Amino acid sequence: MFKTLRYNSRCSQAYNFLYTHSFHRVRYIMAEASKGKNDSVHEQRQDPILAEEIEGTSKPEVSNKAFASKRTNAFAELMSAKKPKPSTKPATPSLKPAKRGFDARSGLGVYIEHPEKNPEGLVVEYDDDFVVVNDKFPKASVHLLLIPRNPDYYTQHPLSLLSSNGPFRAEVLKRVVRLKHLAASELRRKYGRCSASDAPYQAALGDLMSQDDPPTPSERDEKLPPGRDWLAEIKAGAHTHPSMNHMHIHVMSRDMHSPCMKHKKHYLSFNSSFFVEVDEFPLDERSDRFHPGEWPSWDMKCWRCGENYQNKFARLKEHLGEEFEAWKKE
C-alpha cells in the first residue's frame, strides 16, 4: 500500500479521511534512446492524443490538483499531497549533475525519477515500484495513470508486457483494483449528492456523521446501505499504440466528460478495441489487438446509449454533455 488510511473522529464532515505517508526516494536511470523526435507521419496519425499534448504546449482547461470540496475523502487527500518540506540540516555542496530534461514523448519520465517533488502537482501517490499521477490532459471526470518505475518494465510495450510477464501482470491487477476503488470513491464525492440511486447512502451517511460520536470507518461501512455501484463506472486498460514512451495504465471513469476530450481520436482511443482493458490480458501473441490498423477512421458510438455518430465529433460531443447530466443523476 502507498499510504495508510486514518479517520479523524473530531470532524463532522462526511468524507473526512487523513492519509499519512512516507516518501520513498528512488531514482532510476532513464533509457537513452528516444523515439519522440523520429516518429514517422504514420505513427503520429495513429497517436490517440494530439501533437500539442505530446509537446505539452496545450494547457489543460481544468485543474488536476486536489478536487475542491468542503467534504474531503481519501482520494481528495491524496490529490492534495504537498511537496515534502526541505530538511533542516545545513546544505552541503552538491555534486549532482545538471537537471536532465525529457523529450516530448518521454514526458512521464519526470514523475518516475522524482515523484517526491510532485512535478506539476499531479502525483497522487508512489512507492519504489510504481507512481500514480493524474493525467495532465484528463479525458473523463477521474483519470489516473499507473506507471511502473523499473526501466525493465517502463520501456516495454504495455500489450506485450502484460501478456508475457505473469508476475508483473498480477501486481498491476492488484494495484488497479485498489485504484478503481479510489476512483469510485472520488466519483461518489463529486456526484453522489445528485444521484438518485445513491440517495439512501448519502442520507444514512449524513445521519451517522452528524452524531456527537461518529463511528469509525469500519463501523460506518457496516451500517451504511450500498447505494450506487460507482465501481461499475470505472475502467482500466492500455492503448494498443501508446503516444508516450513510458509504459502506463489508464484508470478512469467512463463518462468522457472533460474539456480536454476534444478530438475524434481522444474518444475512440478509450471507446473502441484500441483500448485493451486489464481483464482482457493476457493476449495471444497473434492477436489482432496488436495491430489496430486505421483505427482513427472507425465510427464513434456513444458509450452510454450506443448511437452511432460516425465521423461527426461535434455532434457526439454535444450528445455526451447531455448523457453526462443524465448519467450522474441515475
The one-digit pLDDT tens for each residue of the chain (330 residues) are 453 333 333 333 333 333 333 333 333 333 333 444 444 445 445 667 655 565 554 455 444 444 433 344 545 555 554 454 333 333 333 334 334 456 778 999 999 999 999 989 999 999 999 999 999 999 999 999 999 999 999 999 999 999 999 999 999 999 999 999 999 999 999 999 999 999 999 999 999 999 999 998 888 888 999 999 999 999 999 999 998 999 999 999 999 999 999 999 999 999 999 999 999 999 999 999 999 999 999 999 999 999 999 999 999 999 999 999 999 999
Of 7, 3, 32, give the one whose Cα is nearest residue 20. Answer: 3
Residues marked as catalytic: 248
Residue 17 grid cell: 479521511
Backbone phi and psi for residue 55, each to the nearest 5 degrees, phi listed first: -75, -15
Residue 139 grid cell: 479525458
Q: How far apart are CA 311 and CA 68, in angstroms?
A: 36
Of 146, 123, 136, give the one whose Cα is nearest residue 21. Answer: 123
Q: How far apart are CA 119 and CA 189, in angstroms?
A: 25
Domains defined for the chain, CATH in brackets: 106-328 (3.30.428.10)
